A and B are shown apart, each in its own frame.
Chain A
Amino acid sequence: MSTLLTIADVAVELPTPRGNLRAVDHVDLSLEAGRTLGIVGESGCGKTMLSRAVLQLLPKKAKLTGRVMFDGQDLARLAPESLRRLRGRDLAVVFQDPMTSLNPVLTIGTQLMETIQEHLELDAPAAKARSIELLAAVGIPAPEQRLAQYPHQCSGGMRQRIAIAIALSCEPKLLIADEPTTALDVTIQAQILDLLAREQRRRHMAMIIITHDLGVVAGRADEVAVMYAGRVVERAPTPALFKRMHMPYTEALLAAIPKLDAAPHTPLPAISGRPPDPTRPLRGCSFAPRCRYAAGRCHEAKPALTSAETPGHLYACFHPIQMAAGVDA
């Protein structure tokens, strides 16, 4: 298998009135063609900024360092015009808020057909047929009628399905889906993740699924990277991660998910507080103020990514869970 995407030592800094904000803090990741990487973490931990760094779609004032190699090209060195073509076609994205990718004043049909015609050489009737096919594929009832409607006439769920249809329309090599199903209900979420998986197999498309829900990536991603405060704090092949989590943060994220087999009115083990203010980085482990295993060094130094015994499993913690268990109680 060939490496499609390499993220090497990528950092993103944003100037803010409160000072420099380090949204992404030296991240290394790679992805092979046809594979799925899940990126998991709470809101504000840098998932979107990392994906925007890959897409070279950062806010104007943002400072990006490190390298992003996609399909043999260094994206930072591409001319804006080549980048734009690449993004429509080989490198597609679905955002959390479908209105980010949809134009409120154009009909759904116009938006889909414009994208298709711009990147694939299809005539209008063929583009229309493909649009209808795509809308049906993402589970839009009565797709022909929808073509004439505007985004505001659709429910939130439908809007996201339409945004996904547009992203898939040019058969990209890599699809970055930034919380694509966070706003959707579970059956549609399952349908869309199935749909993405199907499309991915058919096209040998690589995918990055960004989510805050470990449940979403459990059965879908080949590898999972957990982000916290701009850094990757644990990374592993999915089965290895769920078999043995090393980072207390990963464990806490999993525990906070309501479980179907719990009795009603069982209080949830919520992670208290919020991630640290990214303009005020902590000296020690960023998770320390919320971590139930924090002790000693945790407040003084940043744990580096360390290899676990399973190949490909990395974690950044001074007291990884299997060792801390028992000591803590």
Chain B
Amino acid sequence: MMQLAVRAEPLLDVDNLVVEYGLGNKTVHAVSGVSLQVARGETLGLVGESGCGKSTLGRAVLQLRRAKSGRVLFDGEDLTAMEGEALRKMRRRVQLIFQDPIASLNPRRRIGDIVAEPLIIAGVKDAAERKRRVHEVLSAVGLDPDLVSGRLPHEFSGGQCQRICIARSLVLNPEFIVCDEPVSALDVSIRAQILNLLEEMKARFGLTLLFIAHDLAVVKAVSDRVAVMYLGRLCEVGPSEELFARPAHPYTALLLQAIPVPDPDVRPAESVAGGEPPSPIAPPSGCRFRTRCPRADQRCSAEIPELREVAPGQFAACHHPLA
């Protein structure tokens, strides 16, 4: 069903995206040919280890970092080909929520002004209209506009700052939000509150989300489908339930094993994440996961595995997928 919906008309269609950074005279291969689709109204979770290129991918989708090659179609239009005014207009429809809520708020500005800022940038001149919108989104995220508007970011906790960031991202009435690790810096109880809030906002404002995180359990809690990324490439994409119940890619299986289980009788599997993640400056040939993969063989170093359908709607890039 979901796959059909995606094929019919994805809101976001990322096609063979390549993003690189220069580091001295070397090149960091941060995103190396990623393709994915997100259907309207869907939440796609994106997981992977630190440095695998999740944020780079998110930023490249929003054109905050320009891709070396590949396309980003949003509602049928190619963002990578857009510039200036056209891109600015488009940006109103796509927003970003960052991992570090406190750092992403200007410490010297009042909350009301911070949340109103996107409206000013977008050219909403009517001050009363701006105030109305700010009130609406602050209340929506569970803050009292009259109490918080005049205060400064340092007067708020991390969880409250993340609510403010979410309010700011909603103020332009976007269709699509990239949530880059929105709960990674929050503690367990606030994390649960913010995850519930995101779900509520999604339903209320009809949002489509790309939800980036490194915690599989967090991702599963909010995502319809999940994409697993390793060292700049996608390993596996599929519906959340199926992917977690029957991971086909050895890396997905490894991520699942690494989740801390709140039960002392389940001994943590020692060194589940054996080996070191290779450097994205010189990624391994063939399958990028092969240096840590228990199933790796000759073919894995010679041939890049392509994403192939292993179950309905579930795709894995592996020469020897798990049964």
Contact = CB atoms under 8 A, between A and B. Distances in A.
Interface of A: 42-44, 136, 139-142, 153, 155-158, 182-191, 193-194, 212-216, 218-220, 238-239, 242, 252-254, 256-260, 262-272, 274
13 contacts: A42-B187, A44-B157, A183-B185, A189-B258, A190-B268, A191-B273, A194-B271, A239-B264, A239-B265, A268-B192, A268-B221, A270-B196, A271-B189
A264 B222 contact: yes
Chain B binding surface SS class: loop
A43 B224 contact: no
Given A215-B261, A218-B260, A270-B192, A258 B277 contact: no
B261 A219 contact: yes
B220 interface: yes
A7 B88 CA distance: 58
A268 B196 contact: yes
Interface in B267-286: 267-273, 276-279, 281
Interface residues of B, number: 58
B50 A190 contact: no
The 10 closest A-B pairs by CB, nearest first: A185-B214, A157-B50, A270-B192, A212-B187, A215-B260, A187-B273, A268-B192, A215-B262, A256-B192, A258-B217
B184 interface: yes
Contacts of A256: 188-189, 191-192
B276 A141 contact: yes
Contact of A213 (B195, B224, B260): B260
A141 B278 contact: yes
Contacts of B279: 141-142
Given A190-B260, A218-B260, A253-B189, 18 more contacts: A42-B188, A42-B190, A140-B276, A142-B279, A156-B50, A185-B215, A186-B216, A189-B260, A191-B271, A215-B260, A218-B262, A220-B268, A239-B265, A242-B264, A257-B217, A258-B195, A270-B193, A271-B192
Given A42-B189, A253-B189, A256-B191, A262 B220 contact: yes
A180 B217 CA distance: 20
A186 B259 contact: yes
A20 B321 CA distance: 60
A194 B268 contact: yes
Contacts of B101: none
B49 A185 contact: yes
Contacts of A218: 260-264, 266
Given A189-B258, A252-B189, A267 B196 contact: yes
A219 B189 contact: no
A220 B266 CA distance: 10
B157 A254 contact: no
Contacts of B224: 264
Contacts of B182: none
A254 B50 contact: no
